[in-house]
Structure 1
Amino acid sequence: MIRKLLCCLLLALAAGTVSAAELVVVVSARSPVTTLRAEQVADIFLAEARRFPDGGEAVALDLPIGSPLRDEFYLKVANRTPALMKAYWTKKIFTGRGQPPRELQNSQAVRKLVADNPTLIGYIERSALDASVRPVLVVH
């Protein structure tokens, strides 16, 4: 039984379906926000909410389209595949009800910008964490 489970895990890793990086959603260390639920994060990143629960402005930052971390984030937090996300934003933009978050090239760029601005929220690899940002949600 254990051998069978190990084989399945190895196959999943080889296929790229199991992430090697743990993701964390972060805000500036200067932000009053200390924790968020996955639904709250999804609402901010899907332009359904423009404020944090405390009433402060919330502006999401994204990683590039096609990034494995981005795909994992939206699958786990918003339960949406890349194709569903593309359709979602196409409709939002067409109806004038929202724009997708600004994209940055990597976790370090997201962390740097979030650290400098308490209104920003982003997701990064856990390994990119430092004291300039506060994790508010660990994405499993």
Structure 2
Amino acid sequence: MIYKLLVATFALLSASVFADVAVVVHPSNANALDNKTIERIFIGKAKSFPDGSQAVPINQEASSAATEEFNSKVLNRSSSQLKAYWSKLLFTGKGQPPREEADDAAVKQLIAANPNLIGYIDAASVDDSVKVIATF
């Protein structure tokens, strides 16, 4: 009985720790993006959406759970690896990291106001102010 209770508790806790991350854009953005294109935009190797319009990535603060999930699932890098990557690009003058916002609400507010932005939020925070293009 205790074993079943522990397993159920662990399952519930695991679900909350490993929340899905939704990559979101402005509702008018009709571009379809695959995982590789999303990764390229967020590491500065792609500057536009497939239709040619400018793509501006928005990160959340490095300490947020959504950022840790996004970095792991989409960019396949740890926070320290990304910090080193961006430090090198900044030092050589070849790039700047994406702008950082505090939380899901701030990212949604910016994206809802600008069709060139792309960001990520906790999937539970999605509403009709943004359009989900991928979930990880």
TM-score after normalising by structure 1 = 0.84
Aligned match of 1:81 = 78
Which stretches in structure 1 are left out of the alignment for 5+ residues? none
Which stretches in structure 2 are left out of the alignment for 5+ residues? none
- 1:32 Cα offset (Å): 2.3
1:10 maps onto 2:10 in alignment: yes
- 1:31 Cα offset (Å): 1.5
Superimposed CA distance per residue, residues 15-43 of structure 1 (whole angstroms, 9 cap, x where no aligned partner): x9x41x2110000002222x311111110
TM-score after normalising by structure 2 = 0.87
Identical residues among aligned pairs (%): 40
The separation in 1 between residues aligned to 2:62 and 2:71, in whole angstroms, is 11
Aligned match of 1:135 = 132
Superimposed CA distance per residue, residues 93-137 of structure 1 (whole angstroms, 9 cap, x where no aligned partner): 011111011111101110111011000000011121111211011
Runs of 4+ in 1 over 6 A off after TM superposition: none
SS at match of 1:136: strand
CA RMSD, Structure 1 to Structure 2 (Å): 2.3
Aligned match of 1:27 = 25
Residue type of the alignment partner of 1:26: V
Residue correspondences, number: 131
- 1:46 Cα offset (Å): 0.5
Residue type of the alignment partner of 2:83: K
Residue type of the alignment partner of 2:24: V
